[in-house]
Amino acid sequence: MTAEVLSGKELAAEIRAEATDKAQRLAAEGTVPTLVVVTATDDEGSAWYVSSIKKAAEKTGIACEVRDLGQDADRKQIAAELDTLAKDGTVHGVILQTPLPKGVSAPEMASHIALRQDVDGANPLSLGNLVAGLWAFPPATAAAVIRILKHYGFRLEGMTAAVVGRSTVVGKPLAHLLLDENATVTIAHSRTLDLPKVTRAAQIVVAAVGRTGLITSEHVSPGAIVIDVGTNQDADGNLVGDVDAVSVKTVAKGLTPVPGGVGPVTTALLLAHVVKSAEAHHAS
Ligand code: NAP
């Protein structure tokens, strides 16, 4: 078997085209969707990501401002910035970029993002609301996995899914989104005994770990669908996932590529969330 390549590019383009249309309509009616990215780091990878989000936002008709508080910012300054933004009706989305300065807790800081502006589901209350079945923006990456599975026509109800990784930004929210789709979900992590046995029992395997090549054909049952969330760098600096694509392709039915899989859909959904927040504000 050679797995179908579950590219995210076409789906991302669809989501972005729809968001661009809506952003143009909103702007014509006087509301320019606006995103603010708050950073407090001199990390190069982070700077690259923020500049790519800004470019993508502006292409979609979203105004995007980066507020760099500097790598020496403390918890009080970061919290005060987010509290000020929370009161600003002209701002529809806020992203708090990580890493934060040493000793500053990301969830504690993210709890200062207003829920209506929390377009990447970073506020712990957003995750709580999702689990409780209340409204919140889900983290864009977790939402992207569900959108890709649906885009390729997989009916999730009744399917077994193994999510490898239990972070609050990806693994946990994704497990809940899969549950909401009536999948039967197992969450695996670094203390899981016999990972291949756990993942081989699943029809959908999602790798959200951050370890190059962790998932091999040994972890995948024939005909399973494999979603690679991982973003790692290989020895040559190339972007690679958590899945050893060469071996997994020989057993899986479908596999998302890295790059070009979950990543572009995540960015597109983040921008769509900003536009949705602006629409809600405009209508109120
Ligand atoms: P994280 O906070 O470091 O969490 C990693 C998770 O993997 C933890 O739950 C950890 O288990 C688990 N893990 C570590 N080693 C393992 C092993 N050998 N076997 C099984 N589980 C293991 O990372 P994250 O923020 O969730 O991100 C995960 C990956 O997704 C990273 O590569 C990140 O760059 C990528 N990512 C991609 C996107 C995108 O848009 N494509 C967005 C966000 C993140 P413990 O809990 O036991 O430590």
pLDDT digits (tens, 9 = 90+) for 238-271: 999 999 999 999 999 999 999 999 999 999 999 9
Give the residues across from 226 on adjacent strands.
205, 255
Residue 103 φ/ψ region, left for φ over 0, alpha for ψ in the -120 to 50 degree band, beta for the rest:
left
Any atom of ligand 1 within 6 Å of the Cβ of 188: yes
Mean of pLDDT values over 218-229:
98
Question: What's the chain's average pLDDT?
Answer: 97
Q: Among residues of the chain, what percentage have pLDDT more than 90?
A: 98
Residue 45 — pLDDT band, cuts 50, 70, 90? confident
Any atom of ligand 1 within 6 Å of the Cβ of 257: no
Q: What is the pLDDT of residues 65-84, one digit of tens each?
A: 999 999 999 999 999 999 99
Any atom of ligand 1 within 6 Å of the Cβ of 262: yes
Compute the distance between CA of residue 265 and CA of residue 15 in angstroms, rounded to an integer: 8
pLDDT at res. 284: 87
What angle is formed at CA 183 by the lines to CA 111 and CA 129, rounded to 5 degrees? 20
CB neighbours of residue 89 within 10 Å? 9
Q: Which atom of ligand 1 is nearest to the CA of 267?
A: 40
Q: What is the pLDDT of residues 133-186, one digit of tens each?
A: 999 999 999 999 999 999 999 999 999 999 999 999 999 999 999 999 999 999
Among positive and negative, which fits the CA dihedral 155, 157, 163, 169? Answer: positive
pLDDT at res. 274: 98
pLDDT at res. 174: 98
- Whether the per-residue pLDDT at 1 is higher than 90: the answer is no
